[in-house]
């Protein structure tokens, strides 16, 4: 009898269970819906801009991104370095919105972008003076571009040959993916001559970042390197005055000499977009080029666009 009554109750129990399960499911779904962000919540409706590339630009880009949060809190700008080549490749592949570069895009890179269906647009966002630096104990104060070329190609290997001590020259450079490396190769090693095919001497130590160059230089009195002016610490590194030729004046890199063109190793810093920027990206770039955005450039030791207007 017990089993018989149980058999009669089973459909009822199952029915009640299914009803309770349905009510529970509906209630749980409602609760979950109530936990979702409200309309207008930055996590659900905010804009995200991916920005990647040049290590020279990375500190300015991070400062811009942080300051822009106060201007447009609904916009998040994610900044990473990795080198100009890395940022440009990411733009071509469609994985970033803005590529930072300390050099102009190569023709081959522009062609890749066009093959992927867009025209890369160049935006000059700041100016940099590339400083040649040595250890503070090094007596050298001045070098011509020709002397630097001789050193970095390995034609000159002792400081005594350029007026220094009888010590071997230790060459420091950024890695090949760096826009700064490319700029130094073209403008110093090859002396701005497009027909020149000189390359860095094989003994050149390639560093992954500006920090790598300065760290090695500070501990090695025979080292020479180069870095963006905004990354140089005059207390621990000596900046060398540079001349285009032995007949021209030797000039130290400053905001004034870079903006006037007196300093021979001045260059533009770029951001690239896939086509003309729209919406949040266009607004962000306009803010970067405004007086407020350019003030951050000055604060970090680079040359603002306003200095050459």
> For residue 113, what pLDDT is reported?
98
pLDDT tops 90 at residue 18? no
pTM of the full predicted structure?
0.79
Q: What token pair was written down for 3?
A: 């089993």
Please indicate, yes or no, whether residues 72 and 111 belong to a single structural domain of this protein. yes
With cut-offs at 50, 70 and 90, classify the pLDDT of residue 309: low
Do the domain assignments include residue 144? yes
- Is residue 117 included in any domain, yes or no? yes
- 260 and 176 co-located in one domain: yes
Examine the pLDDT at 39 and tell me if it is beyond 90.
no
Would you state the structure tokens that stand for residue 195, as one six-digit string? 């027909």
* Domain membership of residue 304 as a residue range: 45-126+268-308
Q: What is the pLDDT of residues 214-259, one digit of tens each?
A: 999 999 999 999 999 988 998 899 999 999 999 999 999 999 999 8
- CATH number of the domain at 85, please: 3.40.190.10
Percentage of the chain beyond pLDDT 70 is: 85
Contact 133, 232 (CB under 8 A): yes
Q: Report yes or no on 116 lying in a domain.
A: yes
Structure confidence by residue, pLDDT tens digits, 123-181: 999 999 999 999 999 999 999 999 999 999 999 999 999 999 999 999 999 999 999 99
Residues 6+ apart with CB under 8 A from 11: none
In angstroms, the Cα distances linking 13 to 6, 23, 25, 291 are 10, 15, 18, 74
Pairing outcome for strands 120-134 and 47-53: unpaired
Q: Are residues 148 and 249 in the same domain?
A: yes
Q: Flag whether pLDDT at 80 surpasses 50.
A: yes
In a domain, 7, yes or no: no
| pLDDT value at residue 308 | 63
Q: How far apart are CA 180 and CA 195, in angstroms?
A: 20
pLDDT of 209 > 80? The answer is: yes
pLDDT over 90, % of the chain: 78
């Amino acid at each position: 009898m017990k089993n018989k009554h149980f058999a009669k109750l089973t459909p009822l129990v199952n029915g009640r269970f299914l009803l309770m399960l349905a009510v529970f499911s509906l209630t749980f779904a409602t609760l979950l819906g109530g936990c979702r962000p409200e309309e207008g919540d930055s996590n659900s409706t905010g804009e995200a801009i991916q920005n990647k590339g040049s290590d020279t630009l990375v500190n300015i880009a991070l400062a811009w991104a942080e300051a822009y949060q106060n201007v447009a809190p609904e916009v998040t700008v994610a900044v990473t370095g990795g080198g100009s080549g890395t940022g440009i490749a990411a733009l071509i592949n469609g994985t970033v919105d803005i590529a930072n570069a300390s050099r102009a895009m190569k023709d081959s890179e522009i062609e890749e972008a066009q093959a992927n269906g867009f025209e890369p647009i160049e935006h000059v966002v700041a100016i940099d003076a590339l400083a040649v630096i040595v250890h503070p104990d090094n007596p050298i104060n001045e070098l011509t571009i020709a002397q630097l070329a001789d050193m970095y190609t390995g034609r000159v290997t002792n400081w005594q040959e350029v007026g220094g001590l009888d010590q071997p020259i230790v060459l420091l450079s950024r890695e090949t993916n760096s826009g700064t490396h490319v700029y130094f190769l073209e403008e110093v090693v090859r002396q701005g001559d497009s027909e020149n095919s000189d390359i860095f001497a094989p003994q050149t130590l390639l560093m992954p970042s500006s920090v790598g160059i300065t760290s090695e230089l500070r501990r090695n009195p025979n080292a020479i390197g180069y870095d963006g002016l905004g990354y140089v610490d005059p207390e621990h590194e000596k900046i060398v005055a540079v001349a285009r030729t032995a007949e021209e004046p030797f000039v130290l890199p400053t905001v004034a000499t870079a903006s006037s063109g007196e300093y021979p190793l001045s260059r533009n810093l770029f951001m690239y977009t896939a086509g003309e920027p729209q919406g949040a990206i266009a607004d962000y770039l306009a803010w970067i080029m405004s007086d407020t955005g350019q003030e951050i450039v000055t604060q970090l030791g680079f040359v603002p666009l306003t200095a050459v207007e």
